[in-house]
Amino acid sequence: MKNPNVAVAIFDSNVVPGSGKGQGVQIKAKCHRVLKDELPGAIEVVYSKRFPDPKERATRDLSVEHFSKPDSEGRTDHIYKIVLEKVYIIDKTPGVKDTRLEVRLND
């Protein structure tokens, strides 16, 4: 991966800008491909939600080997995770404008 940096912004787009009624979250993170030792758990988390029926999951190749193949073999279906570095919310203090507060992350 050439650039693992990720930025995420989550907000309610239905709120009128400048109304003071909205709240947003900004995230700075790194993106990493999930490697072999973490794949069994990641596959379970992702695909048990995507395909809740175990019979349907059984019809798909959800093996560690499938997700471990290199791109050079024509495989591009990998599982990635983002690791949070910084999380911010908008300061809702009356009179404070366009200021964000850092949310403390547990290590």
> Does residue 107 register a pLDDT over 70?
no
Rg over alpha carbons for the chain, rounded to the nearest Å, is 19
> Does residue 45 register a pLDDT over 80?
yes
Q: Which amino acid type is present at position 81?
A: K
Residue with tokens 């709120």: 15
> Does residue 31 register a pLDDT over 80?
yes
Q: Are 26 and 7 in contact (CB under 8 A)?
A: yes
Residue with tokens 């059984």: 58
Higher pLDDT, 97 or 5: 5
pTM of the complete model: 0.68
Residue with tokens 């093996």: 63
> Does residue 1 register a pLDDT over 80?
no
* Cβ-Cβ contacts under 8 Å for 83 (sequence gap 6 or more): 29, 30, 31, 32
Query: Across the chain, what does the average pLDDT equal?
Result: 87
Higher pLDDT, 93 or 60: 60
Q: Where are the domains of the chain?
A: 1-33+81-107, 35-78
